[in-house]
Structure 1
Amino acid sequence: MPAAKLLRELKSLGVELWPQDGQLKFRAPQGLLDSERLAQLRQHKQQILQLLQAGERPEVSADEDNRHEPFPLTDVQNAYLLGRQSSFGYGNVACHGYLELSWPSLDPQHVEQAWNRLIARHDMLRAVIASEGSQRVLADVAHYAVAVHDLRGLEGERQHQQVQQIRQAMEQKLYPTEQWPLFELRLSQGDTADTLHFSMDSLIADWASAQLLFNELEQLLDDPQRELPPLDIRFRDYLQAERSLLESSRYQRDRDYWLARVDALPPAPQLPKPLAGEQITPARFHRHSRHLDSRQWGALKKAASERGLTPSIVVLTAYAGVLQRWSQQPAFSLNLTLLNRLPLHPQVDQLVGDFTSVSLLHVIDPQGLDFTEQARQLGGQLFSDLEHRLFSGIQVMREIGRRRGREAASMPVVFTSAIGLAIEPAAGSLRQVGHGITQTPQVTLDCQVMDDRHGLHIHWDVRQGVFPEGLVDDMLQAFLDELQWLANDPAAWSVALQVPLPAWQQRERLAANATA
């Protein structure tokens, strides 16, 4: 019997087969695999392994005939869409990003021409999202006109007010998803620099996609005649191939892995809440930022490498330690954002789309572990989780909700690492990154870390009205202090992570004790 026919027959009988470390593994109902079928398996082992491995690495192929037909949303896109509804906890907000990029001078006409070329190049810049849960790329759209604000010659305060008005209008938008476009681009001209203001719904592009767009835009601004390399596949093609993985034995293994762990996953960090217990309406997010300079960041990376740790795991462990200092319980689940571009085609990294996935990381009570030991434990757990990423964190949260209720499934404290993933601008680029902010439905605190030649950039995007006044600044400063200690003092790695109370709280406690 040919290997392909044998494989189809066994699957139809309920036999699960999968490759693991070069071996053929299987799970079958008792008594189904008699001696004859076992002999056939042994005979065709290598061919069946090749068939299974090929099925777990689907190739992306262009589907030009159906390019503009509707296709399903990803789990994360669906969550973003549902999160716009006020009926969900910390909802009533879009997943959205805003960023300002400045150059010494920009030609408005060149900016508009370049951006329209990118709209034509990247399908997801022409996408609309239907409320029932599908997305579609429009074959043709109108020419996009970039609004220009000429602020030259205005006195300083007046110019600042004009920029603030632009930000107020753009930085926390809620786009109607069924109407194109799901982005906005404006240009403000100043006396010393010109600034592009970008607003984009994350339904159509993730952080890495935005970085790709900025770099391609700059290439076209530097040389309006430049021809960018043609794209052979589209985001729709990628998703169709990725979706085929859900029928693989690997997906079933990943599903089994997470469903076996669901009951043991603790809730999100239980952080202090304001006394009034009220949310700000409408929802607004505020960015709190810190920076680790290139010298300190280099020292921290070197120390991490000497201990066999990745920089991202070290930063994640420090973040978890700060959360443990303020959380009611030291064990919790942390919501991790993953930039999940599977290498299914050589051009996957050149596509614009929302490739985001999420994973829930179980942070345990460290119980006296020193920092290095805690980082190794977290890193090991994360590595194991990522080996089973086909069953997404969204699916895990749905299962938690089914078993324990919607409130238990809420995971609003997030860690997003783009360390080592920066798409650097070309050498000699005069581009400067300015003000930015993100917002995400059902999220209250998103710690975003990214690095470049200037060091480590730390941004905490926080939903206003959720935490007591001053708490986030205290936590963020403690986070920065821990990272600086790790960068500057080898002793920090061999002791338990200890986050002290902020100075003002220490003073209040001392004063209270003195009058007791």
Structure 2
Amino acid sequence: MEYIQLKEQVKQELPVNVEIEEEDNLLELGLDSLKIMRLVNTWRKQGIRIPYGHLMEQPTLKHWWQLIQKRMKKKRSDNILYNNKNNVEINNVAFPLTDVQYAYKIGREKGQELGDIGCHAYLEFSGENVDSNKLEQAWNLLQYHHPMLRARFLDSGLQEIMEKPYCENIEVIDLSENPKFQEILEQKRLELSHRKLKVEEGQVAALTCCILPERKTRILFELDLLVADVQSMQIILRDLATAYIGRELPEESKNWNFGVYLENQYKDEAEERKLAKEYWNKRVQDMPLGPELPLAKKPSNLTEMKFNRRIVRLQKEEWEVLQRKAAENQITPAILLLSAYAYVLERWSSNKKFVINIPFFNRKTEYPGIEEVVADFTTLLLLEIDLEKKKTFKEVVEMIKKQLYQDMKYTSYSGVQVQRDIAQLSGERQTIAPVVFACNLGTPLVNNEFKDNLGKFSYMISQTPGIWLDFQTYEDEEGIMLSWDSVDELFYNGMMDDMMGSFGDLLHRLRTENWDAYYDVLPKKVSKIC
């Protein structure tokens, strides 16, 4: 690789065509974390392996070129062959679960604290004139196109691809002449939104089409996240619309073999995994647990794991201001949101040093077609937050940025394994990291083709075993939706409302106020509790 190639690759990822100086901060020019990950994986194809965290520490052409030159000298001679034809054969050989899949599967078992549930997403889309027959045909095209939609999970701890999906029919409910259709929709939401799909039989997703008065429709979509990460969910919804209007699905993702990918990755990352294990083995010696939020009930005494969603929405103009301020402070928008989240958690938490559980969507895009694939490529990172001393918001941002970029050099050793190591060291059987920050910026949940043909996104709730509170983000043309899914039975009445309200207020203040200040986000009415 030559310096001019690096410069051109970076320019192609920028939102506007500008001339880049070697000392320019690329985040300020509009480069975001997803685009940087694409560059990382492009270089991996050429045998140049640079961890994402190294690039984020100094996001300039000068620093990146120094890293590339250093890696090129150590370039490996053994090239991994990335197969363009990852075809899945019928009666495919069963293959192991990833660490995250294994954790989700264990969480499904009865007797598990904060368990006996699937890692499940439930979404609703409100539209009109949807043809249920065409929708069923489109759904079947998807099920036969994407192998993981035909996956089943065995008692042996393996997964395999079935020849046929669990069910080729969608449920159609005709409420077009029923005056009580709203009540029935509510009942259906209660029935489906938290159910545990039969993944051991291959039931990993389901689709329901409700026909409403005045030719309105409501599509209900369920997905077990054993088979899909957030990008995969976006792909499923995109491909459903594509198939519905009669267009061809992407050839690259047809019969893509997730098992072969995992096998290749395990071999390919052996050296990185060894270094990462050494790093985390040192870190876990004094690593804290998750935030100790005030609990109204012990997790072991929960009668039901039921999640409730709260939403803060920022309009496009508000979100653009915050993105500009993030760039001015040389951070990504994700780090801004994470810092605000940590700031709020600290004021309610009795321990001021804690970890936040961060899902990291880790697709290795050097594999052809992988950007179109449905599977769970998630790994976890446990980010340590130290707020034992009072800090300005800018100081919190800098602390989080530094720690996150350092930790991201070592993601080959999964956060699931780190949690096991902490539990083994401490003898703790409790949940290690029950507070999650999942950030999915850059791509809308559904595209215009879906909205025009199948409906607009109107409701969502998710659940994850072992989790108290799950932060999620979804961008669209109107701005950004920031949602918290929480197990409300754990917490004091009104507490989650107060925390979410404080989070929204803090973001509004950060738009206009100086970040080099301390923000007390705890409402006066709850100061006696915390």
- TM-score when scaled to structure 2? 0.81
Taking the TM superposition and a 5 Å limit, the aligned residue runs for 1:224-243 are: 224-226=246-248, 228-231=250-253, 233-243=256-266
Do residues 146 (structure 1) and 198 (structure 2) align? no
| Cα distance, 1:409–1:180 mapped onto 2, change above 3 Å | closer
Find 2:210's aligned residue among 188, 203, 209. Answer: 188
Q: What is aligned with 1:107?
A: 131
Q: What is aligned with 1:340?
A: 362
Q: What is aligned with 1:51?
A: 76
Whole-Å separation in 1 of the counterparts to 2:517 and 2:71: 50
What one-letter code is carried by the residue in structure 1 that aligns with 2:267? S
What one-letter code is carried by the residue in structure 1 that aligns with 2:75? Q
| Cα distance, 1:366–1:410 mapped onto 2, change above 3 Å | closer
Whole-Å separation in 2 of the counterparts to 1:274 and 1:205: 33
Pairwise CA distance, 1:58: 6.5
Q: What is aligned with 1:262?
A: 284
Q: Cα deviation per residue 1:202-234 (whole Å; 9 max; x = unaligned)?
A: 11112211111101111222x225454343632
Find 1:68's aligned residue among 92, 109, 112. Answer: 92
Q: What is aligned with 1:411?
A: 433
8 Å contact kept, 2:299–2:490: yes
Segment of structure 1 superposing worse, 318-327 or 442-451: 442-451
What one-letter code is carried by the residue in structure 1 that aligns with 2:225? S
Segment of structure 1 superposing worse, 274-283 or 346-355: 274-283
Secondary structure class of the residue paired with 2:264: helix
What one-letter code is carried by the residue in structure 1 that aligns with 2:176? R
Q: What is aligned with 2:267?
A: 244
Structure 2 gaps of 5+ residues are 1-46, 52-69
Pairwise CA distance, 1:299: 0.9
Q: What is aligned with 1:218?
A: 241
Q: Cα deviation per residue 1:280-338 (whole Å; 9 max; x = unaligned)?
A: 42321111222111111111111111111111000000000100000001110111111
Pairwise CA distance, 1:54: 4.0
Q: What is aligned with 1:42?
A: none
Q: What is aligned with 1:498?
A: 520
8 Å contact kept, 2:291–2:349: yes
Whole-Å separation in 2 of the counterparts to 1:20 and 1:435: 41
Pairwise CA distance, 1:357: 1.2
8 Å contact kept, 2:445–2:475: no
Pairwise CA distance, 1:345: 1.0
What one-letter code is carried by the residue in structure 2 that aligns with 1:213? I
Whole-Å separation in 2 of the counterparts to 1:207 and 1:20: 25
8 Å contact kept, 1:19–1:52: no
Pairwise CA distance, 1:150: 1.5
Pairwise CA distance, 1:60: 7.3
Structure 1 gaps of 5+ residues are 1-17, 23-44, 510-516
8 Å contact kept, 1:371–1:496: yes
Find 1:281's aligned residue among 278, 303, 308. Answer: 303
| Cα distance, 1:346–1:422 mapped onto 2, change above 3 Å | farther
Pairwise CA distance, 1:140: 2.8
Find 1:401's aligned residue among 401, 404, 423. Answer: 423
Pairwise CA distance, 1:453: 1.8
Q: Cα deviation per residue 1:379-404 (whole Å; 9 max; x = unaligned)?
A: 12111111110001001011111111
Do residues 83 (structure 1) and 107 (structure 2) align? yes
8 Å contact kept, 1:422–1:450: yes
Pairwise CA distance, 1:460: 1.0
Whole-Å separation in 2 of the counterparts to 1:336 and 1:125: 25
8 Å contact kept, 1:245–1:251: no
Segment of structure 1 superposing worse, 369-378 or 138-147: 138-147
Do residues 94 (structure 1) and 95 (structure 2) align? no
Q: What is aligned with 1:197?
A: 220
Instruction: Give identity over the alignment, percent.
Output: 28
What one-letter code is carried by the residue in structure 1 that aligns with 2:229? D
Do residues 321 (structure 1) and 343 (structure 2) align? yes
Segment of structure 1 superposing worse, 290-299 or 470-479: 290-299
Whole-Å separation in 2 of the counterparts to 1:369 and 1:170: 44
Q: Cα deviation per residue 1:226-273 (whole Å; 9 max; x = unaligned)?
A: 454343632223222222234x21111111111110112111100001
Whole-Å separation in 2 of the counterparts to 1:126 and 1:401: 34
| Cα distance, 1:234–1:58 mapped onto 2, change above 3 Å | closer
Whole-Å separation in 2 of the counterparts to 1:138 and 1:317: 43
8 Å contact kept, 1:73–1:133: yes
| Cα distance, 1:181–1:87 mapped onto 2, change above 3 Å | closer
Q: What is aligned with 1:124?
A: 148
Secondary structure class of the residue paired with 1:375: helix
8 Å contact kept, 1:60–1:344: no
Q: What is aligned with 1:33?
A: none
Secondary structure class of the residue paired with 2:322: helix
Whole-Å separation in 2 of the counterparts to 1:282 and 1:386: 35
Segment of structure 1 superposing worse, 84-93 or 308-317: 84-93
Find 2:406's aligned residue among 364, 369, 384. Answer: 384
| Cα distance, 1:277–1:396 mapped onto 2, change above 3 Å | closer
Q: What is aligned with 2:21?
A: none
Secondary structure class of the residue paired with 1:446: strand
| Cα distance, 1:464–1:142 mapped onto 2, change above 3 Å | closer
Whole-Å separation in 2 of the counterparts to 1:142 and 1:332: 42
Residue correspondences, number: 461
8 Å contact kept, 1:58–1:245: no
Whole-Å separation in 2 of the counterparts to 1:189 and 1:484: 40
What one-letter code is carried by the residue in structure 2 that aligns with 1:243? Y
8 Å contact kept, 1:58–1:242: no
What one-letter code is carried by the residue in structure 1 that aligns with 2:213? D
| Cα distance, 1:160–1:65 mapped onto 2, change above 3 Å | closer
Q: Cα deviation per residue 1:402-449 (whole Å; 9 max; x = unaligned)?
A: 111233652111111112243551469433101111111110111112
| Cα distance, 1:205–1:427 mapped onto 2, change above 3 Å | closer
Segment of structure 1 superposing worse, 370-379 or 66-75: 66-75
Whole-Å separation in 2 of the counterparts to 1:49 and 1:315: 37
What one-letter code is carried by the residue in structure 1 that aligns with 2:261? Y
Find 2:230's aligned residue among 190, 200, 207. Answer: 207
Find 2:397's aligned residue among 359, 362, 375. Answer: 375
8 Å contact kept, 1:400–1:409: no
8 Å contact kept, 1:416–1:448: yes
What one-letter code is carried by the residue in structure 1 that aligns with 2:258? F
Q: What is aligned with 2:65?
A: none
What one-letter code is carried by the residue in structure 2 that aligns with 1:260? K
Find 1:484's aligned residue among 485, 508, 513. Answer: 508
8 Å contact kept, 1:67–1:236: no
Whole-Å separation in 2 of the counterparts to 1:19 and 1:109: 49
Q: What is aligned with 1:512?
A: none
Whole-Å separation in 1 of the counterparts to 2:403 and 2:79: 28
Q: What is aligned with 2:377?
A: 355
